[in-house]
Amino acid sequence: MKIIDRYLATTILHSIGIVLFAAVGLEFFILMVAELRDIGQCTYGVTQALVFVLLNLPEQLYQIFPMAGLIGMLMGLGVLANHSELIVLRQAGLSFLAITWRTFKTLICLVVLLALMGELIAPKATFYANQYKNDHIHSNTHDIGNYSDDVWIKDQQNYLHIGQIDQQQILHHISWYAFNDQQQLNQFSTAETGQYQNGAWQVNNVHGTRINLKHITTFSAKQATWPFNLKPEVLRNSVQKPSSLSLRELNASLRFHQKAKTTNEPLQLAFWKRIFQPLASLVMMLLAIPFIFGPLRSVSQSLRLVTGIAAGFSFYYCNQLLSPVVLLLQLPAFLGASLPCLLFGLLGLFMLMHQKR
């Protein structure tokens, strides 16, 4: 039985690997074409664009894996079906569920490896890619290293506006609006720069105005400490796309919003999508098994490829459509991330039970 397990695993992994290689190659070409408009700015040339694209590939691979895994499974099991090897396995005493279980063990290991890459490698690589590109595009300008402009953040009763943030996480052109419990403005302050030191934000060249019922006073200082409960990593995460953050970074950002008594539905949706991403990959690959034992048992590989692409795009568009609908209807973000997995999982389970009978 170990020989059969190894043979099934080798065939499936080989097919999925070929499909992933083709998908990554296509994604590489698309990203390089997109970078053509930026090549030539300051020191950003072809070599820098190549480095930028290569650093973005792990995140792209993680995102397209459910579709590529489904197509790879259809192709791999299709090879076994065309050579009548699945029939031989059935005649040797392996039931449909036994073959499914042996395939499932291989897929679990593959999904775990991809999940580790998606959480530990892809977010950091994407961040460094954006940083690398920004440094080269702005290498000859005074705002070298700026990776975000015009950021608004709420912390309890305070509102913070940041004009620019550089790669050293130094804030520029800062404004602070402090409100009391009655939502009345009682202080407005501006600062030229700010940096996180010794557990607090130290700001420079401060000018401000205090407002109360009796009078208005102005003040200024070369240095001051602003008591914002905002750590640099949370600030860095707030200016990135939620889809490019790891699960740990998303969780830290959500905890900050919870303490600040604010809601961020896109962030919650990205958090739950990260949780369900491995399950989505597993569901899509398992969906190929009843297809091969059922309607696609004796068709050509090209038809299997078209079927896999159609099913993959159906899952992708279902996932993309439900997300804004859930946000629009103000439903829990959990539903937007779990419904596609649930729908396709039920479809796969129905087909598996049908094949069992």
User: Average pLDDT of the chain?
Assistant: 82
Phi, psi of 273 (to 5 degrees): -65, -40
Beta-carbon-side half-sphere exposure of residue 40 (alpha carbons within 13 Å): 2
SS3 257: helix
Query: What is the predicted pLDDT for the residue at 144?
Result: 44
Residue 28 has pLDDT above 90, yes or no: yes
- Predicted TM-score of the model (pTM): 0.74
pLDDT tens-digit readout, 305-322: 777 778 777 887 888 788
pLDDT tier for residue 145 given thresholds of 50, 70 and 90: very low
Of residues 25 and 170, the one with the higher pLDDT is: 25
> What's the average model confidence in pLDDT over 2-27?
87
CA-nearest of 116, 70, 102, 110 to 3 is 102
Query: What is the predicted pLDDT for the residue at 349?
Result: 78
pLDDT over 90 percentage in the chain: 8
pLDDT tens-digit readout, 77-113: 888 877 778 777 777 777 777 877 888 888 888 889 9
> What's the average model confidence in pLDDT over 184-190?
86
d(CA 65, CA 23): 9
Residue 248 has pLDDT above 60, yes or no: yes
**Which residue has tokens 């607090």?**
200
Query: What is the predicted pLDDT for the residue at 241?
Result: 78
| Partners of 208 in the β-ladder | 189, 219
Query: What is the predicted pLDDT for the residue at 149?
Result: 64
pLDDT tens-digit readout, 276-300: 888 888 888 877 777 777 655 666 7
CA-nearest of 107, 151, 40 to 283 is 107
Tokens of 205: 């060249």
d(CA 147, CA 166): 6
> What's the average model confidence in pLDDT over 212-238?
80
